Amino acid sequence: MAESERRFIVHRNKWIWGRTWVIVCEDGSGIIKISQDPDDGVVLSGLSVLPDHRGKGIGTSLVREAERIVREEIGANEDITLSVKSWNKELIGWYTKLGFCVYDYDSDYTYLIMVAREIGKFSENGD
Q: What pLDDT is attached to residue 2? A: 56
Q: What pLDDT is attached to residue 4? A: 59
Query: What are the b/e assignments for 6-43, b being 16+ CB within 10 Å?
Result: bebeeeeeeeeebebbebbbeeebbbbbbbbeeeeebb
Q: What pLDDT is attached to residue 77? A: 84
pTM: 0.88
CA 78 to chain centre: 13
- Mind listing the pLDDT tens digit for each residue in 79-117? 999 999 999 999 999 999 999 999 999 999 999 999 887
Contacts of 123 (CB under 8 A, 6+ apart): none
- Mind listing the pLDDT tens digit for each residue in 44-57? 999 999 999 999 99
Q: What pLDDT is attached to residue 125? A: 45
How many angstroms separate the CA atoms of 11 and 33, rounded? 9
Architecture of domain 3-118 in CATH? 3-Layer(aba) Sandwich (3.40)
| Mean pLDDT, range 7-32, rounded to an integer | 94
Residue 33 reports pLDDT greater than 50: yes
Are 62 and 31 in contact by the 8 Å Cβ rule? The answer is yes
